[in-house]
């Protein structure tokens, strides 16, 4: 259990966080840039000496008035956005640097780490010649070989293009399923978080705006302003019901109805998680017919909240919470209010392929 009660003041920025983090699994730290996500991670690692307050991990006090455990004694693995590999050492040298200083500590062996991250072909290479994706793989491996008790990942994919991201995400998924190693994962990309994390702490302007299971936080209309129209939305858990190669579609079964998405490579019966953004949801009072959208599910309105440029509408679709973003005018015209029955029209395009691909792999460790 990681418990924080910390303050840090800088000109034009103040961080004040009181929060407990789960002792296992992946917790996402999400928020707009400048919200203090990286500062929070640095503070946990012991890299911000100017911070005041308490940091406690398990039974250990890492920081308290008069107490400051330096980073080298905390046992955190830190993966920086810019990898920070040591340029004077080869890839193998970077791994050895960590391995040598963590001898005898419990954790994965060098061989396991090399295999898990496919580092064998890189071992003899110089750091300067690595691609961005390779660099991050080495940085993750190096952090793991430090045998950390807590992993901190600070936007490890932010500096990479989409192709590199797709290349490294599977490795991150493996890291995030390592048994017993709690992970804090900072990102401002929800598609990424949906693949990796099940809990989220939302930071806004140096404060915790929300914390809880990812699916619930994403669907909370009160957080629409913080999450933004592409951040807020929903995750639906469904199973693959059928494939229609002729139409290029896969059919998914959700308790509220059937969904069609572009053909995915997942077996019939596999569980998948689908994510869509609030602004990709339309609402109708009566079930529309003669409409091009394939995915229309009955929903109940749970809440309405003001959001920048419109109204955030909280929905319940079967067992799942979801959110739609509509204009004030539409909200008035449809006379929306909590308890009202509507139909949620999900544009097919809202199902991003990489979300689906990941979801297909998530069935081995289902969402809580």
Contact residues for another protein (CB under 8 A)? 45-47, 70-73, 75-78, 80, 82-88, 97-98, 101-102, 127-128, 130, 135, 142-143, 146
Instruction: Annotate 178-212 with three-state secondary structure.
Output: CCCCCEEEEECCHHHHHHHCCEEEEEECCEEEEEE
Q: Least distance in Å: CB of 141 to another protein?
A: 12
Q: Which residues contact 236 (CB under 8 A, 6 or more apart)?
A: 254, 259, 273, 274, 276, 317, 318, 320, 322
Is the Cβ of residue 19 or residue 90 nearer to another protein in the bound state? 90
Q: Please compute, for residue 285, the number of CA atoms within 13 A of its CA located in the half-sphere on the CB side.
A: 9
Type and span of the H or E element at 353:
helix 353-361
Is the Cβ of residue 185 or residue 260 nearer to another protein in the bound state? 185
Pick from 167, 166, 175: which is nearest to 142 by CA?
Answer: 175
Q: Least distance in Å: CB of 300 to another protein?
A: 47
Is the Cβ of residue 143 or residue 312 nearer to another protein in the bound state? 143
- Report the alpha-carbon distance of residue 104 to residue 96 in Å, rounded: 14
Is the Cβ of residue 151 or residue 190 nearer to another protein in the bound state? 151
Alpha helices in 129-181 (DSSP H): 132-145, 162-176
Is the Cβ of residue 73 or residue 349 nearer to another protein in the bound state? 73
Q: Least distance in Å: CB of 88 to another protein?
A: 4
Q: Least distance in Å: CB of 105 to another protein?
A: 9
Q: Least distance in Å: CB of 95 to another protein?
A: 10
């Amino acid at each position: 259990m990681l418990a924080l009660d910390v303050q840090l003041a800088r000109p034009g920025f103040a961080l004040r966080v009181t929060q407990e983090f789960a002792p296992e699994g992946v917790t996402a730290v999400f928020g707009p840039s400048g919200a203090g996500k990286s500062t929070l991670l640095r503070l946990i690692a012991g890299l911000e000496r100017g911070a005041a307050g308490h940091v406690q991990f398990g039974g250990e006090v890492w920081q308290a008035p008069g107490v400051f455990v330096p980073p080298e004694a905390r046992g955190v693995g830190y993966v920086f956005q810019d990898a920070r590999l040591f340029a004077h050492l080869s890839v193998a040298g970077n791994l050895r640097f960590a391995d040598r200083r963590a001898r005898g500590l419990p954790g994965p062996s060098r061989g396991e780490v090399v295999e898990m991250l496919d580092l064998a072909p890189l071992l003899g290479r110089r750091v300067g010649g690595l691609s961005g994706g390779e660099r991050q793989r080495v940085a993750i491996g190096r952090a793991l070989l430090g045998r950390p008790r807590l992993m901190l990942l600070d936007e490890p994919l932010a500096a990479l293009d989409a192709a590199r991201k797709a290349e490294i995400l599977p490795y991150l998924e493996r890291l995030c399923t390592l048994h017993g190693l709690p992970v804090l994962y900072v990102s401002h990309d929800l598609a990424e978080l949906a693949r990796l994390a099940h809990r989220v702490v939302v930071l806004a302007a140096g404060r915790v705006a929300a914390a809880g299971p990812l699916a619930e936080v994403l669907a909370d209309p009160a957080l629409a302003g913080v999450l933004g129209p592409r951040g807020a939305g929903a995750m639906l858990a469904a199973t693959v019901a059928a494939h229609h190669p002729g139409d290029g579609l896969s059919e998914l079964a959700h308790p509220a109805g059937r969904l069609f998405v572009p053909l995915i490579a997942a077996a019939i019966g596999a569980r998948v998680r689908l994510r869509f953004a609030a602004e990709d949801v339309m609402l109708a009072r009566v079930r529309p017919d003669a409409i091009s959208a394939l995915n229309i599910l009955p929903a109940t309105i749970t809440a309405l909240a003001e959001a920048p440029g419109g109204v955030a509408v909280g929905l319940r679709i079967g067992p799942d919470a979801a959110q739609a973003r509509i204009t004030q005018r539409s909200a008035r015209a449809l006379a929306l209010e909590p308890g009202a029955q509507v139909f949620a029209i999900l544009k097919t395009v809202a199902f991003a392929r990489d979300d689906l691909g990941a979801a297909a792999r998530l069935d081995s460790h289902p969402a809580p």
